[in-house]
Amino acid sequence: MLKPIIESYHGNKDLIKQEVDREKLLLANIGIAINKKITSQHKEAKKHDNAIDGTAINKKAEQVTELIASHIVNGNDLKLLAMPEPVANEGEEANDVFHREKHALQKQSLEARKQLKDVPQEDRIKLLEMYGEVEAKGLEE
């Protein structure tokens, strides 16, 4: 995606360096956005349920962030850790709602994979270099 932009700089090394730095910041922002969302969801859940454990939440959020960001960049399906209870409309059963929501998630995942295939090989390599490997760090599947 950056190739046409960088080509328009006609070899200006300062502009090219700024563009490369910008790309790194954009990739890092994926993890930052995920971490903010996890932290805000935890705070919201804690307001409604005092039984939720708050021990080392920053470290836990960091581990989950690394895992999710790596899966997003690699184009893997994300398996939900805990499915919310399906809300059925009138005349609809919970099982039907579950299957409908599952189908919608699969469709989104397929679309994300298709978009990843459109990313140039060089950019895919950069994504993998930045997010490719996630250490276990005590996480068990």
Residue-wise pLDDT tens digits, 103-139: 888 888 788 777 777 888 888 777 777 766 444 333 3
- The rounded distance, in Å, linking the Cα atoms of 66 and 34 is 9
Q: What is the pLDDT of residues 14-48, one digit of tens each?
A: 988 888 888 888 888 888 999 999 899 888 888 88
- Residue 135: the pLDDT is 44
Q: Whole-angstrom distance between the N-terminal and C-terminal Cα of the chain?
A: 35
Q: What is the pLDDT of residues 82-110, one digit of tens each?
A: 555 666 667 667 677 777 877 888 888 78
Cβ neighbors of 123 (< 8 A, separation 6 or more) are: 1, 2
- The rounded distance, in Å, linking the Cα atoms of 30 and 56 is 22
- Residue 94: the pLDDT is 65
Cβ neighbors of 40 (< 8 A, separation 6 or more) are: none
103: amino acid identity, one letter: H
9: Cα separation from own chain's centroid: 31
Contact at 8 Å (CB) between 78 and 71? yes
66, 2, 75: which is closest to 28 by C-alpha? 66
Whether the full predicted model's pTM is greater than 0.85, yes or no, is no
